[in-house]
């Protein structure tokens, strides 16, 4: 994990309109453009093609139509329709039926009730077709409401949904107990956002220690655990915990981001583990892309070289 100061810088840069315009013009233009390392394409067709390639390497996928922080009801409703179209395209294509979405993409900043309606509309289309829908976790102002919406839907009988918990947040160990008690599925991550001291661990060592503790609870007491990390130490620990507690490899899965640590992905498949790749796509890729840069300094040089290469 990159330092929290640089995470903050990247979150600021992510709001820059000029940079967004520049990046959007050059980032996905050609198959070799720099953003394509992390973003599978701008259309569902391109993303499905990328998903097929991932599946051909023995892994599964979760598809993410990128978008977040929507500011009007109309846009939220349009994003919902777009998601339903993605569900339909995935059904037609035969790729695995698994999606990830963000509640601010469905209008959480505008109207909570409408967001729940929008999520229900997606679930009504996706669940009967056998989809699993993961609600991504955004930054801490949304933690409580995201878990509340999830729990409401769960209590209304929706079973094709799951949540994400971030080890960076102080509250997450307690949240893990709550979600485990419901019998629901958790994706465990370290957390991609710069968070204040009042709610979150500030050092990598603390975030990692919390991740390790949560790993043990998730693997031994969770349901279909999703261990989402590229950190070799955490992956090794997960394997050890599972072995020591006789949890078979088909009872949990590793998850990694498209374009990140493909060597580790392949190694885990070869070792007999389930690996799911998070495949993001769509035109609103800039904030997601900036979070990936914020996680690793080498990615910044890679992107800068890409921008100048494209313009030159």
Ligand X SMILES: Cc1cc2nc3c(=O)[nH]c(=O)nc-3n(C[C@H](O)[C@H](O)[C@H](O)COP(=O)(O)OP(=O)(O)OC[C@H]3O[C@@H](n4cnc5c(N)ncnc54)[C@H](O)[C@@H]3O)c2cc1C
Give the C-alpha distances (Å, rounded to integers) separating 35 from 43, 50, 117, 183, 307. 14, 14, 33, 37, 9
**Can residue 77 be called a binding residue for ligand X (CB under 6 A)?**
no
Interface residue with ligand X among 40, 66, 189, 303 (CB under 6 A) is 189
Interface residue with ligand X among 278, 286, 288, 289 (CB under 6 A) is 278
How many beta carbons lie within 10 A of that of residue 75, not counting itself?
15
* In the complex, least distance from residue 74 CB atom to ligand X, rounded to whole angstroms: 25
Exposure pattern of 9-19 as b/e (b: 16+ CB <10 Å)?
Answer: ebbeebeeeee
Query: How would you classify the pairing of strands 252-257 and 161-166?
Result: unpaired
Which position among 64, 136, 175, 208 bears the catalytic label? Answer: 136
Residue with tokens 């315009």: 21
Active site residue 187: yes
How many residues belong to the site for ligand X (CB under 6 A)? 24
Interface residue with ligand X among 39, 48, 65, 137 (CB under 6 A) is 137
**Nearest residue (CB) to ligand X, 66 versus 189:** 189
**Nearest residue (CB) to ligand X, 86 versus 215:** 215
**Can residue 260 be called a binding residue for ligand X (CB under 6 A)?**
yes
Burial grade of 5 (CB within 10 A; 0-12, 13-18, 19 or more): exposed
**Can residue 99 be called a binding residue for ligand X (CB under 6 A)?**
no
**Can residue 97 be called a binding residue for ligand X (CB under 6 A)?**
no
Interface residue with ligand X among 120, 170, 261, 262 (CB under 6 A) is 261
Residue with tokens 């994400």: 164
Contact between 250 and 276 under an 8 Å Cβ cutoff? The reply is no
Contact between 284 and 68 under an 8 Å Cβ cutoff? The reply is yes
Q: What are phi and psi of 253, to 5 degrees?
A: -140, 155
**Can residue 257 be called a binding residue for ligand X (CB under 6 A)?**
yes
Segment interacting with ligand X, rule: CB under 6 A, options 40-48, 73-81, 109-117, 229-237: 229-237
**Can residue 109 be called a binding residue for ligand X (CB under 6 A)?**
no
**Can residue 256 be called a binding residue for ligand X (CB under 6 A)?**
yes
The C-alpha torsion from 108 through 110 and 111 to 115, rounded to 10°, is -40
Interface residue with ligand X among 54, 192, 238, 290 (CB under 6 A) is 192
Burial grade of 203 (CB within 10 A; 0-12, 13-18, 19 or more): exposed
**Can residue 265 be called a binding residue for ligand X (CB under 6 A)?**
no
* In the complex, least distance from residue 211 CB atom to ligand X, rounded to whole angstroms: 7
Interface residue with ligand X among 41, 67, 191, 282 (CB under 6 A) is 191
Q: Which residue numbers are catalytic? A: 136, 187
Chain residues in the site for ligand X (CB under 6 A): 1, 136-137, 164, 166, 189-193, 228-231, 255-257, 260-261, 278, 292, 295-296, 299
């Amino acid at each position: 994990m990159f330092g929290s100061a640089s995470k903050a810088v990247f979150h600021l840069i992510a709001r820059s309109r000029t940079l967004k315009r520049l990046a959007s013009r050059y980032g996905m233009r050609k198959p070799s453009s720099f953003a394509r390392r992390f973003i599978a394409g701008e259309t569902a067709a391109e993303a499905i093609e990328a998903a097929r390639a991932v599946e051909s390497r023995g892994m599964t996928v979760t598809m993410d139509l990128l978008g977040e922080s929507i500011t009007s009801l109309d846009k939220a409703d349009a994003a919902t329709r777009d998601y339903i179209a993605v569900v339909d395209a995935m059904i037609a294509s035969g790729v695995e039926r698994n999606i990830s979405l963000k509640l601010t993409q469905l209008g959480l900043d505008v109207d909570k009730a409408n967001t729940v309606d929008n999520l229900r509309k997606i679930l009504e289309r996706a669940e009967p077709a056998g989809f699993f829908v993961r609600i991504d976790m955004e930054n801490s102002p949304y933690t409580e409401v995201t878990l509340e919406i999830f729990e409401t839907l769960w209590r209304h009988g929706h079973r094709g949904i799951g949540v994400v918990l971030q080890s960076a947040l102080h509250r997450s160990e307690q949240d893990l107990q709550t979600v485990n008690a419901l019998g629901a599925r958790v994706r465990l991550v370290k957390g991609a956002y710069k968070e204040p001291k009042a709610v979150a661990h500030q050092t990598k060592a603390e975030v990692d220690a919390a991740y390790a503790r949560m790993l043990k609870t998730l693997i031994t007491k969770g349901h279909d655990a999703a261990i989402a990390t590229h950190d070799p130490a955490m992956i090794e620990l997960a394997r050890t915990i599972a072995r020591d507690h006789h949890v078979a490899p088909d009872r949990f899965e590793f998850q990694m981001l498209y374009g990140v640590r493909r060597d580790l992905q392949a190694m885990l498949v070869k070792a007999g583990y389930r690996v799911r790749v998070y495949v993001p796509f769509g035109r609103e890729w800039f904030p997601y892309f900036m979070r990936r840069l914020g996680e690793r300094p080498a990615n910044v040089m890679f992107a800068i070289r890409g921008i100048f290469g494209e313009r030159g």
